[in-house]
Chain A
């Protein structure tokens, strides 16, 4: 699943570690999501959406 995590993070000038701490996950998890290797669960997707203040569908794109 494609996502705009890297772009949104760069806009806020956050490091992967910083974002990981805000999301309460490991830096590797943030990296995996950004690379499209790992799709987060719904609770984590909601946390991501809240951290960036945007709806989930504007961050994640399932291509449908």
Chain B
């Protein structure tokens, strides 16, 4: 039986295929998977922070601390699965976008860390993933323009 998620994804896929941004080749179904995985990761991190703050003596502290790693693995697998089924140009665009996101995030975070030393508000580590995703999307935009 088709799940609600599948139904929604298929509808979005049809709308997406008729849209001018189809050339990005990011199927909404995959995007939804990535967003769900990212939400699980963020949720796990929030739970971890709450758990450690409220159960400082629990023997499950170490297990809880490792939970985000599994969630991050899920996130990475969902992102990587987005490359399946794409043609070579789309794969190239995505890999270039990932490379761009990696370097841009590194530069951004290192620069911001110096600003923090000078008194700027300290960046929470939970924001690193959204920063990378933002640069990834920006990198895809650059790829779309480059291979238009």
Contacts and interface: CB of A to CB of B under 8 A. Distances in A.
A32 B87 contact: no
Contacts of A28: 22-23, 25, 89, 147
B88 A29 contact: yes
Nearest to B88: A41
A15 interface: no
B25 A26 contact: yes
Q: Determine the interface band of chain A, counting residues with CB < 8 A from chain B.
A: 10 to 19
B87 A38 contact: no
B45 interface: no
Contacts of B22: 26, 28
B89 A25 contact: yes
B146 to A, nearest CB: 7
B148 interface: yes
A54 interface: no
Contacts of B89: 25-26, 28-29, 32, 38
A40 B88 CA distance: 8
Interface string B61-96: 000000000000000000000000001111010000
A12 interface: no
A44 interface: yes
Interface string B88-113: 11101000000000000000000000
Interface of B: 22-23, 25, 87-90, 92, 146-148
Interface of A: 24-26, 28-29, 31-32, 35, 37-38, 40-41, 44
19 contacts: A25-B88, A25-B89, A26-B22, A26-B23, A26-B25, A26-B87, A26-B89, A26-B90, A28-B22, A28-B147, A29-B88, A29-B89, A29-B90, A32-B89, A32-B147, A32-B148, A40-B88, A41-B88, A44-B88
